[in-house]
Amino acid sequence: MGTVTIPIECAGARRLAASLVALAGVALGVGCAATDPVDRSGAPDASATDPGVRGTFAAVGDSITDADSVDFAAGDLGAASWATYVVADGVAFAGGWAEWGATTELMAASVAPVEAEALVVLAGTNDLAFGLPFEVSTANLDRIVDTVGIDDVLVSSIPPFPANPGGADDYNARLEQLAEDRGWRFVDASAGLRTPDGRFADGMSSDGLHPSVEGARVLGEAIAEALREG
Protein backbone atom coordinates (compact mmCIF):
# COMPACT_ATOMS: atom_id res chain seq x y z
CA MET A 1 0.00 0.00 0.00
CA GLY A 2 1.32 3.50 -0.81
CA THR A 3 2.28 6.31 1.46
CA VAL A 4 -0.41 8.69 2.73
CA THR A 5 0.96 12.20 3.15
CA ILE A 6 -0.92 14.49 5.50
CA PRO A 7 0.25 18.13 5.39
CA ILE A 8 -0.09 19.69 8.84
CA GLU A 9 1.67 22.37 10.80
CA CYS A 10 5.30 21.48 11.56
CA ALA A 11 4.97 21.04 15.34
CA GLY A 12 2.04 18.73 14.77
CA ALA A 13 4.01 16.82 12.16
CA ARG A 14 6.80 16.09 14.61
CA ARG A 15 4.30 14.92 17.24
CA LEU A 16 2.47 12.73 14.74
CA ALA A 17 5.63 11.17 13.37
CA ALA A 18 6.73 10.29 16.88
CA SER A 19 3.43 8.73 17.89
CA LEU A 20 2.23 7.08 14.68
CA VAL A 21 4.84 4.83 13.11
CA ALA A 22 2.15 3.15 11.04
CA LEU A 23 -1.59 3.34 10.73
CA ALA A 24 -3.19 -0.07 10.21
CA GLY A 25 -0.59 -1.11 7.68
CA VAL A 26 -0.53 2.22 5.84
CA ALA A 27 2.82 3.98 5.64
CA LEU A 28 2.32 7.50 6.92
CA GLY A 29 4.35 10.32 5.42
CA VAL A 30 4.08 13.61 7.24
CA GLY A 31 4.89 16.90 5.57
CA CYS A 32 5.11 20.39 7.02
CA ALA A 33 2.89 22.61 4.93
CA ALA A 34 4.03 26.17 4.35
CA THR A 35 0.44 27.32 4.44
CA ASP A 36 -2.70 26.01 6.04
CA PRO A 37 -3.95 23.20 3.75
CA VAL A 38 -7.56 23.70 4.83
CA ASP A 39 -9.61 26.59 3.50
CA ARG A 40 -10.99 28.36 6.60
CA SER A 41 -13.17 30.79 4.68
CA GLY A 42 -16.34 28.78 5.16
CA ALA A 43 -15.95 28.28 8.90
CA PRO A 44 -17.85 30.35 11.45
CA ASP A 45 -15.86 32.65 13.70
CA ALA A 46 -15.36 30.59 16.84
CA SER A 47 -14.79 33.76 18.87
CA ALA A 48 -17.93 35.56 17.76
CA THR A 49 -20.48 33.75 19.91
CA ASP A 50 -21.75 35.11 23.23
CA PRO A 51 -20.23 32.64 25.72
CA GLY A 52 -23.27 32.83 27.98
CA VAL A 53 -25.82 31.56 25.47
CA ARG A 54 -25.84 27.82 26.11
CA GLY A 55 -23.15 27.09 28.66
CA THR A 56 -19.60 25.83 28.29
CA PHE A 57 -17.84 22.67 27.16
CA ALA A 58 -14.38 21.17 27.31
CA ALA A 59 -13.08 18.67 24.77
CA VAL A 60 -10.48 15.91 24.65
CA GLY A 61 -9.44 14.12 21.47
CA ASP A 62 -6.91 13.44 18.74
CA SER A 63 -6.39 14.85 15.23
CA ILE A 64 -10.12 14.58 14.51
CA THR A 65 -10.64 17.18 17.24
CA ASP A 66 -7.46 19.24 16.85
CA ALA A 67 -7.56 19.14 13.03
CA ASP A 68 -6.23 22.44 11.63
CA SER A 69 -6.58 24.42 14.85
CA VAL A 70 -3.79 26.94 15.44
CA ASP A 71 -3.95 26.48 19.23
CA PHE A 72 -6.73 24.11 20.26
CA ALA A 73 -6.31 24.43 24.04
CA ALA A 74 -6.46 28.22 23.77
CA GLY A 75 -9.63 28.08 21.65
CA ASP A 76 -8.04 29.12 18.35
CA LEU A 77 -10.03 26.51 16.46
CA GLY A 78 -9.80 25.51 12.81
CA ALA A 79 -12.46 24.96 10.19
CA ALA A 80 -11.84 21.20 10.22
CA SER A 81 -12.33 20.89 13.99
CA TRP A 82 -15.83 19.84 15.02
CA ALA A 83 -15.47 22.06 18.12
CA THR A 84 -15.77 25.11 15.87
CA TYR A 85 -19.36 24.22 15.06
CA VAL A 86 -20.31 23.59 18.68
CA VAL A 87 -19.10 27.12 19.46
CA ALA A 88 -21.05 28.42 16.48
CA ASP A 89 -24.15 26.81 17.98
CA GLY A 90 -23.73 28.97 21.07
CA VAL A 91 -21.72 26.84 23.51
CA ALA A 92 -18.51 28.47 24.70
CA PHE A 93 -15.28 26.50 24.53
CA ALA A 94 -13.66 26.30 27.97
CA GLY A 95 -10.48 24.40 27.06
CA GLY A 96 -9.21 20.87 26.85
CA TRP A 97 -6.57 18.87 25.02
CA ALA A 98 -6.25 17.38 21.53
CA GLU A 99 -3.24 16.31 19.51
CA TRP A 100 -2.49 14.52 16.26
CA GLY A 101 -1.77 10.82 16.69
CA ALA A 102 -2.91 10.71 20.30
CA THR A 103 -4.05 7.44 21.81
CA THR A 104 -6.30 7.44 24.86
CA GLU A 105 -3.18 6.70 26.92
CA LEU A 106 -1.48 9.91 25.76
CA MET A 107 -4.69 11.84 26.40
CA ALA A 108 -4.95 10.45 29.93
CA ALA A 109 -1.35 11.41 30.63
CA SER A 110 -1.75 14.93 29.22
CA VAL A 111 -5.15 16.30 30.28
CA ALA A 112 -5.65 18.69 33.19
CA PRO A 113 -8.69 19.86 35.15
CA VAL A 114 -11.05 22.18 33.28
CA GLU A 115 -13.98 24.18 34.59
CA ALA A 116 -16.93 23.68 32.24
CA GLU A 117 -20.48 22.40 32.29
CA ALA A 118 -19.83 19.45 29.97
CA LEU A 119 -16.90 17.38 28.75
CA VAL A 120 -16.91 15.98 25.21
CA VAL A 121 -14.57 13.07 24.49
CA LEU A 122 -13.99 11.86 20.93
CA ALA A 123 -11.23 9.28 21.26
CA GLY A 124 -10.23 5.83 20.14
CA THR A 125 -9.31 5.93 16.46
CA ASN A 126 -5.59 5.59 17.22
CA ASP A 127 -6.26 2.89 19.82
CA LEU A 128 -8.04 0.97 17.07
CA ALA A 129 -5.20 1.62 14.62
CA PHE A 130 -2.64 0.20 17.05
CA GLY A 131 -4.84 -2.76 17.96
CA LEU A 132 -5.03 -1.83 21.64
CA PRO A 133 -7.52 -3.87 23.69
CA PHE A 134 -10.71 -2.03 24.53
CA GLU A 135 -10.03 -2.68 28.20
CA VAL A 136 -6.98 -0.43 27.87
CA SER A 137 -9.11 2.28 26.27
CA THR A 138 -11.64 1.90 29.09
CA ALA A 139 -9.03 2.47 31.80
CA ASN A 140 -7.66 5.49 29.95
CA LEU A 141 -11.09 7.01 29.39
CA ASP A 142 -11.80 6.63 33.11
CA ARG A 143 -8.54 8.47 33.87
CA ILE A 144 -9.40 11.26 31.40
CA VAL A 145 -12.80 11.85 32.97
CA ASP A 146 -11.45 11.68 36.52
CA THR A 147 -8.64 14.12 35.78
CA VAL A 148 -10.69 16.69 33.87
CA GLY A 149 -13.23 16.61 36.69
CA ILE A 150 -16.49 17.41 34.90
CA ASP A 151 -19.58 15.44 35.89
CA ASP A 152 -21.52 15.76 32.62
CA VAL A 153 -19.59 13.62 30.13
CA LEU A 154 -20.60 13.21 26.49
CA VAL A 155 -18.78 10.45 24.60
CA SER A 156 -18.93 10.55 20.80
CA SER A 157 -18.57 7.66 18.38
CA ILE A 158 -15.38 7.63 16.35
CA PRO A 159 -15.61 8.38 12.61
CA PRO A 160 -15.26 5.68 9.95
CA PHE A 161 -11.94 3.85 9.83
CA PRO A 162 -11.66 2.54 6.25
CA ALA A 163 -8.80 0.16 7.08
CA ASN A 164 -11.07 -1.66 9.52
CA PRO A 165 -14.73 -0.62 9.14
CA GLY A 166 -16.02 -3.50 11.25
CA GLY A 167 -13.54 -2.67 13.98
CA ALA A 168 -14.82 0.90 14.15
CA ASP A 169 -18.40 -0.34 14.41
CA ASP A 170 -17.45 -2.69 17.23
CA TYR A 171 -15.47 0.03 19.00
CA ASN A 172 -18.45 2.39 18.86
CA ALA A 173 -20.80 -0.27 20.21
CA ARG A 174 -18.45 -0.84 23.13
CA LEU A 175 -18.13 2.92 23.69
CA GLU A 176 -21.90 3.18 23.90
CA GLN A 177 -22.07 0.37 26.44
CA LEU A 178 -19.23 1.90 28.47
CA ALA A 179 -21.03 5.24 28.56
CA GLU A 180 -24.17 3.55 29.81
CA ASP A 181 -22.21 1.69 32.49
CA ARG A 182 -20.47 4.86 33.69
CA GLY A 183 -23.49 7.15 33.62
CA TRP A 184 -22.06 9.17 30.75
CA ARG A 185 -23.98 10.22 27.66
CA PHE A 186 -23.25 8.75 24.23
CA VAL A 187 -23.90 10.35 20.86
CA ASP A 188 -23.33 8.66 17.52
CA ALA A 189 -22.14 11.95 16.05
CA SER A 190 -20.28 10.20 13.24
CA ALA A 191 -23.47 8.60 11.89
CA GLY A 192 -23.79 11.39 9.34
CA LEU A 193 -20.29 10.72 8.04
CA ARG A 194 -20.54 7.05 7.15
CA THR A 195 -22.10 4.83 4.54
CA PRO A 196 -23.97 1.62 5.45
CA ASP A 197 -20.75 -0.37 4.96
CA GLY A 198 -18.90 1.77 7.51
CA ARG A 199 -16.88 4.01 5.19
CA PHE A 200 -16.82 7.78 4.72
CA ALA A 201 -19.70 9.12 2.67
CA ASP A 202 -18.88 11.35 -0.31
CA GLY A 203 -17.48 14.70 0.79
CA MET A 204 -17.18 13.72 4.45
CA SER A 205 -13.42 13.06 4.47
CA SER A 206 -10.50 15.17 3.33
CA ASP A 207 -8.00 12.31 2.99
CA GLY A 208 -9.77 9.02 3.70
CA LEU A 209 -8.73 9.20 7.36
CA HIS A 210 -10.00 12.52 8.72
CA PRO A 211 -13.29 14.39 8.35
CA SER A 212 -13.38 17.19 5.80
CA VAL A 213 -14.60 20.65 6.82
CA GLU A 214 -18.10 19.51 5.91
CA GLY A 215 -17.60 16.33 7.90
CA ALA A 216 -16.43 18.36 10.89
CA ARG A 217 -19.56 20.48 10.61
CA VAL A 218 -21.73 17.34 10.64
CA LEU A 219 -19.88 16.04 13.71
CA GLY A 220 -20.05 19.38 15.50
CA GLU A 221 -23.73 19.94 14.86
CA ALA A 222 -24.58 16.46 16.14
CA ILE A 223 -22.51 17.03 19.28
CA ALA A 224 -24.05 20.47 19.80
CA GLU A 225 -27.53 18.96 19.55
CA ALA A 226 -26.63 16.31 22.10
CA LEU A 227 -25.30 18.98 24.46
CA ARG A 228 -28.53 20.95 24.12
CA GLU A 229 -30.57 17.87 24.95
CA GLY A 230 -28.50 17.19 28.07
Query: What is the tens place of the pLDDT at every residue in 29-56?
Result: 333 332 233 444 445 544 444 444 579 9
> What integer best gives the mean pLDDT of the chain?
84
d(CA 230, CA 207): 33
Q: Confidence class of residue 154 from pLDDT cuts 50, 70 and 90?
A: very high
Residue 3 has pLDDT above 60, yes or no: no
Instruction: Give the pairing type, strands 22-23 and 26-32.
Output: antiparallel
Give the pLDDT of residue 36.
Answer: 38
Residue 69 Cα to chain centre, angstroms = 12
Name the residue among 38, 44, 150, 144 with its Cα closest to residue 94. Answer: 150
The pLDDT value recorded for residue 19 is: 40
User: So where are the chain's domains?
Assistant: 45-229
pLDDT of residue 5 exceeding 50, the answer is: no
The Cα–Cα gap between 137 and 8 comes to: 26
**What CATH fold (topology level) applies to the domain 45-229?**
Rossmann fold (3.40.50)
Residue 230: the pLDDT is: 76
Q: What is the pLDDT of residues 104-117, one digit of tens each?
A: 999 999 999 999 99
